[in-house]
């Protein structure tokens, strides 16, 4: 008769198993490690090869990307990043603020079983490294928190895709939850309205119009069923309602188009160029689709947008910052995290 394996009797006989924890992983788009050509090329290659971002047939897109874009765009993008790079801290604003968000959220969960960290879809710190790090710290449950208020395939979906790819490589997977789009969540709308109101109060002028500029996407994505456009419109409508302002004070536009295809309209740059000719000379502009200030807000909107508007005849232009790691911003992240952690914490 075969012998029956003995059962270990002392804790010391068992492999070390860390105490059970719950992870919260804040996910953002990404940033290059530096502004030099090769750092930019690595980042752009990972970003622009993502099928969620560019849906062009792979063979055609491989030729365009590798023969044209990756040989010309890194230098141009690097020069743009240098305009906003934090040289004192040696990093991009997005990564610095994202790190601060994670640290501040961790303090709000201090004393609990929750461990908070952050990761990027493209670049560093990678989603793979952070999921494995949370697992090693004992997290058998992880809440994936894509910091995109409005859902879209090129943002929310690809962030989750990357996390799922990591899970497929793990023998012992943690249980996971994903945070849904929170474009109309009362906590988000309240925090956004409070932030916008406070920044408007600090201006030396009253804007005639408030422009809400959302990151654009090809029109074909909307036609394929992506809900992003509708959610952007609703966010602006709810923001106006929360602030007690007439909806006519607000303009919705879409920025950052790329390539020759038609994107969601109206385009932000064309809107800014046209407004002075329509009698609007004082505006404030914000980017509600971004949780953290980055290249698209600090350079494209705060710098290029101002130049476009003023050259067209504008008098006053104010960029209103993202929620970032402000008290308002952290309040909404905490509220949504606690709601989605219900039953786990």
Is residue 303 one of the residues assigned to a domain?
yes
Is residue 151 one of the residues assigned to a domain?
yes
Closest to 149 measured CA to CA, from 31, 228, 210:
228
Please indicate, yes or no, whether residues 205 and 306 belong to a single structural domain of this protein. Answer: yes
What is the per-residue pLDDT across 267-290, written as a single tens digit (0 to 9) for each? 999 999 999 999 999 999 999 999
For residues 263 and 213, the answer to whether their CB atoms sit within 8 Å is: no
Residue range of the domain that includes 230: 186-319
Residue 258's pLDDT band, with cuts at 50, 70 and 90, is: confident
Query: Rounded CA gap, 209 and 281, in Å?
Result: 9
Please indicate, yes or no, whether residues 170 and 194 belong to a single structural domain of this protein. Answer: no
3-state secondary structure of 32: coil
Is residue 273 one of the residues assigned to a domain?
yes
pLDDT given for residue 260 in this prediction:
83
User: Model-level pTM?
Assistant: 0.92
- pLDDT at residue 16 tops 70: no
Strand partners, 21: 139
Tally Cβ neighbours within 10 Å of residue 5: 6
Is residue 345 one of the residues assigned to a domain?
no
- pLDDT at residue 9 tops 80: no
Please indicate, yes or no, whether residues 213 and 302 belong to a single structural domain of this protein. Answer: yes
Please indicate, yes or no, whether residues 98 and 155 belong to a single structural domain of this protein. Answer: yes
What is the per-residue pLDDT across 164-210, written as a single tens digit (0 to 9) for each? 999 999 999 999 999 999 999 999 999 999 999 999 999 999 999 99
What's the distance, CA 319 to chain centroid?
Answer: 18
Residue 309's pLDDT band, with cuts at 50, 70 and 90, is: very high
Residue burial 322-332, b: 16+ Cβ < 10 Å; e: rest: bbbbbebbbbb
Residue 261's pLDDT band, with cuts at 50, 70 and 90, is: confident
Please indicate, yes or no, whether residues 93 and 146 belong to a single structural domain of this protein. Answer: yes
For the chain, the domain total comes to: 2
Is residue 9 one of the residues assigned to a domain?
no
pLDDT given for residue 259 in this prediction:
80
HEC letters along 114-181: EEEEEEEEEECCEHHHHHHHHHHCCEEEEEEEECCCCCCHHHHHHHHHHHHHHHHCCCCCCEEEECCC
pLDDT given for residue 282 in this prediction:
98
Please indicate, yes or no, whether residues 219 and 157 belong to a single structural domain of this protein. Answer: no
Please indicate, yes or no, whether residues 193 and 122 belong to a single structural domain of this protein. Answer: no
Is residue 8 one of the residues assigned to a domain?
no
Which token pair is 310? 């003023």
Please indicate, yes or no, whether residues 301 and 264 belong to a single structural domain of this protein. Answer: yes
Q: Which residues contact 227 (CB under 8 A, 6 or more apart)?
A: 151, 152, 181
Which token pair is 339? 């709601």
């Amino acid at each position: 008769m075969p012998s029956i394996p003995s059962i270990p009797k002392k804790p010391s006989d068992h492999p070390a198993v860390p105490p059970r924890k719950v992870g919260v992983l804040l996910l953002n788009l990404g940033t290059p490690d530096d502004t030099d050509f090769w750092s930019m090329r690595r980042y752009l290659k990972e970003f622009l090869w993502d099928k969620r971002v560019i849906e062009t047939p792979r063979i055609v897109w491989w030729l365009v990307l590798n023969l044209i874009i990756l040989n010309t765009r890194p230098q141009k993008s690097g020069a743009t990043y240098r305009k906003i790079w934090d040289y004192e801290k040696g990093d991009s604003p997005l990564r610095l603020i994202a790190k601060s968000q994670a640290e501040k959220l961790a303090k709000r969960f201090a004393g609990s079983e929750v461990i908070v960290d952050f990761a990027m879809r493209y670049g560093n710190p990678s989603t793979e490294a952070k999921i494995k790090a949370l697992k090693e710290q004992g997290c058998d449950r992880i809440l994936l928190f894509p910091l995109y208020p409005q859902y879209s395939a090129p943002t929310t979906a690809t962030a989750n895709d990357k996390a799922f790819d990591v899970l497929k490589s793990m023998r012992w997977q943690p249980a996971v939850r994903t945070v849904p789009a929170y474009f109309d969540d009362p906590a988000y709308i309240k925090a956004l309205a409070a932030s916008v109101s406070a920044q408007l109060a600090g201006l030396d002028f009253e804007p005639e119009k408030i422009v809400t500029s959302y990151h654009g996407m090809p029109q074909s994505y909307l036609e394929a069923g992506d809900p992003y456009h509708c959610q952007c419109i609703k966010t602006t409508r709810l923001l106006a309602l929360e602030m007690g302002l007439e909806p006519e004070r607000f303009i919705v536009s879409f920025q950052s188009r790329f390539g020759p295809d038609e994107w969601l309209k109206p385009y932000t740059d064309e809107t800014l160029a046209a407004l002075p000719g329509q009698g609007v000379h004082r505006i404030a502009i914000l980017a509600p689709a971004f949780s953290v200030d980055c290249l698209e807000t600090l350079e494209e909107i705060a710098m290029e947008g101002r130049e476009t508007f003023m050259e067209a005849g504008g008098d006053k232009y104010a960029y209103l910052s993202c929620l970032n790691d402000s008290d308002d911003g952290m309040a909404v992240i905490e509220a949504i995290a606690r709601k989605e952690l219900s039953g786990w914490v």
